[in-house]
Homo-oligomer: A and B are copies of this chain.
């Protein structure tokens, strides 16, 4: 059995994008096993257990990930994770991966694949709301799939926005107002907001939006009016109802499950698509176990491992 302590170091993002795209294609073709995430509540947080099997990538395993909002005060990350990989023909545990960094990284490719298929054009202005690790993962992954001519960044904290813009290696990056950030081709929202931050009037026809931040009940970033104007794609309907961008509008009767246009997997296999240049598309990302397995597969190919006795 191998342990990968730095599983996220030096990964080839373009390759990760391809594996994640392949995983979503399998999901669209209903070829994966992915039971719902199981939540266990701890005194000041929770942990989620995410098992899955991806036959076409020949990988099976489980990610175990916690969410403890008070951790930063203790010098620990809010989110930490391990992924366990089993050999698919014998069930033998063959790898344990430190999946804390991989968990940040694996959402970037989902956003990148959504942008690749749903963005209005291949040469895009990217708008980024929020400047955390997820914001950076999105820009890096999207820039592998599309030509990003400009990145507009907004954060509540302008110093963070400027620092973020200066850190990027895309050609033209600037910290601007929230309205100006929303005036783009692909908008990516990555905040932990619990009330709509993005106003309907800032969103113009033909845009694509990756709604990344909402990942728990009560979180939302978009004015529900935007969802009414848009065609809304999700990674997984059940997870999106529970904890995605649509969870609050659904709980308030402002969005109905039949309004979902399809899954990202269905988009990747061509069953669903952007239908008109002027329509607004939204990808509501919650994070799937199959993304964790796809990125674990690359990490096991490219990362350094410690050998551990098992049998």
- Binary flags per residue of A71-82, CB closer than 8 Å to B gives 1, else 0: 100101100111
On whether the beta carbons of A91 and B71 are closer than 8 Å, the reply is: yes
On whether the beta carbons of B52 and A51 are closer than 8 Å, the reply is: no
Q: List residues 195-226 of chain A with CB under 8 A from any CB of chain B.
A: none
**Shortest Cβ distance from A75 into B: residue:** B311
Q: How many copies does the complex hold?
A: 2
On whether the beta carbons of B60 and A62 are closer than 8 Å, the reply is: no
Contact of A49 among B39, B47, B51, B77 (CB under 8 A): B51
A84 CB–B CB distance under 8 Å: yes
Chain A interface SS verdict (over half): strand
Bound-complex Cα distance A60 to B40 (A): 9
Q: A47-B86, A76-B92 are in contact. List 14 more A-B contacts (CB 8 A).
A: A3-B308, A35-B39, A35-B40, A40-B60, A41-B53, A47-B60, A66-B91, A68-B90, A71-B90, A77-B311, A80-B310, A80-B311, A82-B93, A84-B84
Residues of A within 8 A of B (CB): 3, 5, 33, 35, 38-47, 49, 51-53, 60, 62, 64, 66-68, 71, 74, 76-77, 80-82, 84, 86, 88-93, 96, 98, 306, 308-311
